Amino acid sequence: MFRTLIGAVCLVGVVAVGLAPVATAQRPYKNCTEARANGDTNIPSSSPKYGPHLDRDRDGIGCES
């Protein structure tokens, strides 16, 4: 009985880990065309999608609409 319970718990754990989404590292967009194609505008400098090359007026907001 105890072995069955432990086996079931392990199986549930393995299945849960297998179904977990894989984390992907975000990176700055190559350009504002790519950002807009993904629905992103007005990207704050605190965002991992922000890059200084996206901020023409250097106000901390990239790809302003």
Whether residue 19 lies inside any domain: the answer is: no
Whether residue 51 lies inside any domain: the answer is: yes
Q: How many domains does the chain have?
A: 1
Q: Which amino acid is at 56?
A: R
Whether residue 35 lies inside any domain: the answer is: yes
Question: Residue 44: which domain range?
Answer: 24-65
Whether residue 16 lies inside any domain: the answer is: no
All residue ranges of the chain with pLDDT < 50 are none
Is the C-alpha dihedral spanning 48, 52, 57, 59 positive or negative? positive
Whether residue 5 lies inside any domain: the answer is: no
**What is the overall mean pLDDT for the chain?**
82
Measure the N-to-C terminal CA separation of the chain; round to a whole number of Å. 63
